[in-house]
Amino acid sequence: MDKFMHKKTTKNKGHWFCIPIFLISLYTNSVSGQTMLRIEDCYIQARNNYPLVKQMSLIEQAKQYSISNASKAYLPQVSFNGQATYQSEVTEIKLPAASLSLLSKDQYRVTGEIYQTLSDFGTIKQQREQIKSQAETEKKQTAVELYKLNERINQLYFGVLLLERQLQQNEVLKSDLQAALDKTMAAIENGTALQSNGAELEAELIKAAQRTIELKAAKNAYLDMLSLFTGQKMDTATRLQLPERKELDSTVRRPEINFFEAQKRTLSIQTRLINNRNIPKIGAFFQGGYGRPGLNMLNNEFRSFYITGLRMNWNFTGLYTAKKEKKLVEISLQKIDLQKESFLLNTRISLSQQEKELEKYVQLIKEDEAIVGLRKKIKTSAKAQVENGVITIKDYISYINEEDLARQQLLLHQVQLLLAQHNYLTISGNQ
């Protein structure tokens, strides 16, 4: 078996574990009339089939609508007002001979105003950027949830691979038992073996057939679950391809990293919005109207009128809280940095644990191969002994089962090694 290998890159620590040659021999890459499926295909299909993926398009639609609404602030703002009033007193001009009331106590006015901002373009731009950043943050968060599907696909995919190999080994066991039964039946006919010897072997063959039923049922259950995740129908004609060897780099490239960075960008834009919100607002306006009185307070007739010019508004209230609001943003940024740091620490701990798992399975496989070799020799020797009457058929069956158990352990550890390699890729984000 190829040895466990460890590699360091020049910039960062990297690892790769080569898949031994014997794993490749476990699987045939092309089977006539059967559908081949790679684990990478399962990852893609699972993400595309998962209901949460539809949230991506919804986020994009909401972003476009929000940007469109924010852009409307560039357009002139139009407003209409109307009022009818009755006053208890109006302005009078007193003369020595008489008093004159210039205005009526009932007054009417309808006005319309067009206002065009001249100083808010920076704020509007920042609002548009904030909308885009918030949408991107939501997408990154959705990507984090979708990435979690890879772990579940790994379990199902390699579960099927293990069951396939266990089925193959079970056929080898049945073949050994059948060969022993054929020889025993011939010996019974010749009167050199007991009927009970044949019955013992027939019982073991039935047990092996039952195990085939159990393994096929388990494989079909795993394929059904894999079908639900990927949205692709899988049956006995579906064969899962043995994953190719990949370099296992310890650099963390998980989607959570992008999510943290997107959150920080959104908060940075929020700081700029706080600054823009507290600067003076300047705009041009045109106001036209019709009413009694007009602008000439000495004329009590219905008149049209207009006013145009510049208007400045500076709300100082925001200055009272701006400093503390910026502090709150800084605290939020620090919290995100701490969350990112904690995530990276936990991820590196998981990668370290996974490395130990890889080393363990490589060592176990090496020992398994030695045990299988010994069990095979013992079974071969026992075969000659049972034919010569040195041991009983029950003893021979136990040797066959011991070899089968050793091979089952080897198969289990081989698939567990593959699973550990892909779990490493999933944990590091290099899947």
pLDDT in tens, 233-262: 887 778 888 887 777 888 999 999 999 999
Distance between CA atoms of residues 158 and 211, nearest Å: 19
pLDDT at residue 22 tops 50: no
Record the tokens describing residue 100, joined without a space.
């004159």
Amino acid in position 123: T
Low-confidence winner among 14-23, 132-141, 349-358, 372-381 (lowest mean pLDDT): 14-23
pLDDT band with cut points at 50, 70 and 90 for residue 141:
very high
- What's domain 14-75+119-279+314-428's superfamily in CATH? Outer membrane efflux proteins (OEP) (1.20.1600.10)
Distance between CA atoms of residues 121 and 282, nearest Å: 11
pLDDT band with cut points at 50, 70 and 90 for residue 100:
low
* Residue pair 152/47 in contact by the 8 Å Cβ criterion: no
Ramachandran angles phi, psi of 87, nearest 5°: -105, 140
pLDDT for res 96: 67
Record the tokens describing residue 394, joined without a space.
């029950």
Closest listed residue to residue 1, CA positions, set 16, 17, 15, 14? 17
pLDDT at residue 15 tops 90: no
Any idea which residue has 């990949």 for tokens? 246
Give the pairing of strands 35-37 and 238-240: parallel
pLDDT band with cut points at 50, 70 and 90 for residue 183:
confident
Amino acid in position 130: Q
Out of 33-37, 159-163, 277-281, give the one with best mean pLDDT.
159-163
- E strands of 210-328, at which residues? 238-240, 248-249, 281-292, 303-313
Which helix H or strand E contains 256, and what residues bound it?
Answer: helix 255-277
- The per-residue b/e assignment along 386-408, b for 16 or more CB within 10 angstroms, e otherwise, is bbeeebebeebbebbbbbbebbb
pLDDT for res 26: 42
Size of the chain in residues: 431
Does the pTM exceed 0.75? yes
Residues sharing a CB contact under 8 Å with residue 166, sequence separation 6 or more, in sequence order: 215, 408, 411
Mean pLDDT of 88-99: 70
Distance between CA atoms of residues 355 and 20, nearest Å: 17
Record the tokens describing residue 45, joined without a space.
């299909």
Amino acid in position 213: I
pLDDT at residue 95 tops 70: no
Q: How many CB atoms lie within 10 A of CB 168?
A: 14
**What are the residue ranges spanned by the domains of the chain?**
14-75+119-279+314-428
Mean pLDDT of 267-271: 88
Strand partners, 116: 284
pLDDT at residue 32 tops 50: no
Amino acid in position 165: R
Instruction: Judge residue 232's burial from the number of C-beta atoms within 10 Å of its C-beta, 0-12 exposed, 13-18 middle, 19 or more buried.
Output: middle
Q: Is the peptide bond before 20 cis (omega within 30 degrees of 0)?
A: no
pLDDT at residue 99 tops 70: no
Instruction: Write down the mean pLDDT value for the chain.
Output: 85
Distance between CA atoms of residues 138 and 55, nearest Å: 9
